[in-house]
């Protein structure tokens, strides 16, 4: 990243082999390098390169945005699971008030355990779609958290994984289409289509197999 500042009366000095940049008594650390350009002393542009500083902040923002995804995922996914349990309970005449805490607690526990053990999916998304930097991850997480959170507020059930993969492909495309592993993207899309149809079919079959034993 390059930070450029235009000044009218330049008083630039470099100290410590490019590690300290001084301008009119103000020091900035660290500075990888600096250049002074301009016609005479009337105008100048100071360009300071701060790769270490930017990388550190991007890494922190990346983890902070990951927490945002965790929150919005729970905001969108938990009601879907609770709705299934609630409809089943109503159909059987159970009291929802007594099941509320148990249901929310069970869903939260299941999502926590799934997140802790789902490292295979997480690694494939983070490493196989495209090469991600801390800045790429932060932007993808920010977009994912924003879209999933907005969908939750509108009452629209969406898949956090689908949105996240789309965001990852988007940041990967900034370096060109060749930087994205379209084979991995194809596998993800096929999995979404197949599991949707398979879920409907298996649920139908399971209902007719299990229902007679439930009275």
CB 138 within 8 A of CB 65: yes
Token duo for residue 159: 């898949």
CA-closest candidate to residue 30, choices 22, 43, 21: 21
pTM score of the predicted model: 0.63
Q: How far apart (Å, rounded) are the C-alpha atoms in residues 68 and 80?
A: 19
Evaluate whether 66 touches 141 at the Cβ level (below 8 Å).
yes
The tens-digit pLDDT sequence of the chain (215 residues) is 444 444 444 444 444 444 444 444 444 444 444 444 444 444 444 554 545 544 557 777 878 888 888 889 888 887 877 777 777 777 767 766 666 677 777 777 887 787 777 778 888 888 899 988 888 989 999 999 999 999 999 988 898 889 999 999 999 999 899 999 999 999 999 999 999 999 999 999 999 998 888 76
Domain ranges in the chain are: 2-49, 55-180
Query: In a 3-state reduction of DSSP, which class is residue 47?
Result: strand
Question: Token match 């398979």: residue?
Answer: 198
Query: In degrees rounded to 5, what are phi and psi of residue 4?
Result: -115, 135
């Amino acid at each position: 990243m390059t930070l450029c500042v235009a000044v009218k009366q330049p008083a630039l000095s470099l100290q410590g082999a490019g590690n300290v940049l001084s301008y009119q008594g103000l020091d900035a650390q660290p500075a990888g390098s600096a250049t002074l350009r301009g016609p005479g002393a009337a105008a100048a542009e100071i360009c300071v390169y701060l790769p270490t500083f930017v990388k550190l902040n991007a890494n922190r923002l990346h983890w902070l945005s990951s927490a945002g995804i965790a929150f919005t995922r729970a905001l969108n996914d938990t009601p879907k699971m609770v709705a299934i349990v609630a409809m089943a309970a109503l159909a059987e005449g159970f009291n929802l008030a007594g099941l509320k805490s148990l249901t929310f607690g069970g869903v939260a526990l299941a999502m926590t355990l799934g997140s802790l053990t789902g490292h295979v999916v997480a690694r494939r998304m983070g490493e196989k779609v495209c090469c991600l930097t801390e800045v790429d991850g932060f932007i993808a997480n920010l977009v994912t958290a924003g879209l999933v959170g907005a969908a939750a507020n509108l009452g629209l059930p969406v898949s956090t994984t689908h949105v996240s993969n789309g965001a990852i492909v988007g940041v990967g495309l900034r370096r060109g289409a060749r930087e994205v592993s379209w084979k991995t993207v194809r596998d993800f899309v096929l999995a979404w289509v197949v599991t949707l149809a398979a879920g409907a079919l298996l649920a139908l079959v399971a209902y007719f197999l299990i229902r007679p034993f439930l009275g």
